Amino acid sequence: MPISNKRINLFRLKFVEGCRFSRSNPARPKYTPQSTAQPGTFELSLSDYVALTKPKIIPLLLVAAIGSEVVASRGIPPILALFGVFVGGALASAGALALNSYLEKGIDAKMKRTSSRPLPSGRILPSSHALFLGLGLLASGIITAGVTLNLVSTFFIALGAFVYVPLYTLFLKPRTSWNIVLGGFAGSCAALAGWYAIPSAWGAAAVGWLLGALVFVWTPSHFWSLAVITEEDYSAVNIPMLPSVVGPVAASRYIVINTLFLIPVSLLYVSYFLGVGFVLYVVVTVVFDLLLLATNLRLLRSPTKANAWLAFKFSSPYLAVIFLVAMVASILH
């Protein structure tokens, strides 16, 4: 089909205009597609929502709860009780930690260590989603515990959340350097929930309370070591964590003193174990007590961030190992 003169002339006109544009704009920018997302658009991110619950903390709480439950049972607990402590405790803990993330979003935004978390970085909008997530998880955990456990065990699961959120997060943390000492009872509630999930062990409740005391006394050594690393952050937001109040040198001294209290507590209930279990618990616990003390003494001699990090990182497996060996020792009676 022959091409009309009109079409040829139109093509020539466009070609000439294109050449003129190229000569006058040699650095013509390439077209870059723009994002269609609007400011504040909610984008679902599973990893960010999981991060709200601080998942690294939950396993240690569950080890304390399940460990206490196994010790109370002197063996494998009933499946329903095991399920209730594990699932109810995990959900309630996740809910309480998510609420902590919501309530501290303003503080987190001003601290280097926490400024990249989902809420202060703006990856979850609106922030009320964190509030609803926390309340939903907490309610689910308490309901699960109420259906599968007795009222006393359920009470301690709920009490742990109460101590951690309104008492520690809202009241103690911004007001006193004793915050983590008193707030440590939230972790004790995990061990107590596990113990009281086994009604047949209530006659030996003193052992359950000693397991709770172990978590309570362990908590300051653990968190003060972390606070030595982040003391500038806490000072910047006026949170009176002990190291930011007294300095790393004095704080290191308090960590050693606290660990010297922790060591005897870890051995107070040793008579509960029998035979091979008794020997196993004593040997492993003494070894880990001395290793923990060694990391604390190293920090005392040289209160650097590197030594504080070593003390902090060792303290978590320390508590896990003590509860795990207690579980094995109770089964080997």
Asked whether residue 40 is domain-assigned, the answer is: no
Indicate if the pLDDT at residue 116 is higher than 70.
yes
Of 30-34, 67-71, 94-98, 282-286, the range with the lowest mean pLDDT is 30-34
Asked whether residue 245 is domain-assigned, the answer is: yes
- What 3-state class would DSSP assign to 56? coil
Q: How far apart are CA 96 and CA 220, in angstroms?
A: 20
Indicate if the pLDDT at residue 18 is higher than 70.
no
Of 44-48, 55-59, 152-156, the range with the lowest mean pLDDT is 44-48
- What 3-state class would DSSP assign to 195? helix
Which range of residues forms the domain containing residue 82? 46-331
Asked whether residue 178 is domain-assigned, the answer is: yes
What pLDDT does 44 receive?
52
CB 280 within 8 A of CB 292: no
Q: Give this prediction's pTM.
A: 0.85
Question: Each residue of 179-203: pLDDT tens digit?
Answer: 999 999 999 999 999 999 999 999 9
Total domains in the fold of the chain: 1
Most confident of 3-7, 16-20, 109-113, 131-135: 131-135
The whole-number average pLDDT for the span 286-299 is 98
Matching residue, tokens 């309340």: 135
Matching residue, tokens 């209530």: 202
First to last CA, the chain: 100
What pLDDT does 105 receive?
96
CB 67 within 8 A of CB 194: yes
Asked whether residue 136 is domain-assigned, the answer is: yes
User: For residue 132, what is the enclosing H or E element?
Assistant: helix 128-148
CB 261 within 8 A of CB 285: no
CB 37 within 8 A of CB 125: no
DSSP result, 59-108: HHHHHHHHHHHHHHHTSPPPHHHHHIIIIIHHHHHHHHHHHHHHHTHHHH
- CB contact set of 309 (below 8 Å; sequence gap of 6+): 225, 229
CB 318 within 8 A of CB 291: yes
Q: How far apart are CA 23 and CA 281, in angstroms?
A: 84
CB 77 within 8 A of CB 109: no
Helices 89-103 + 128-148 axis angle, to 10: 160
User: Which of the 8 DSSP states describes residue 167?
Assistant: I
Q: How far apart are CA 134 and CA 177, in angstroms?
A: 26
Asked whether residue 120 is domain-assigned, the answer is: yes
What pLDDT does 143 receive?
98
Asked whether residue 177 is domain-assigned, the answer is: yes
DSSP result, 216-269: HHHHHHHHHHHHHHTHHHHHHTT---HHHHH-HHHHHHHHHHHHHHHHHHTTTT
The whole-number average pLDDT for the span 121-139 is 95
Asked whether residue 198 is domain-assigned, the answer is: yes
What pLDDT does 13 receive?
42
Instruction: Report the share of the chain in percent with pLDDT over 90.
Output: 86
Asked whether residue 134 is domain-assigned, the answer is: yes
CB 60 within 8 A of CB 320: yes
Q: How far apart are CA 17 and CA 15, in angstroms?
A: 6
Helices (H) and strands (E) counted in the chain, each on its own, are 16, 0
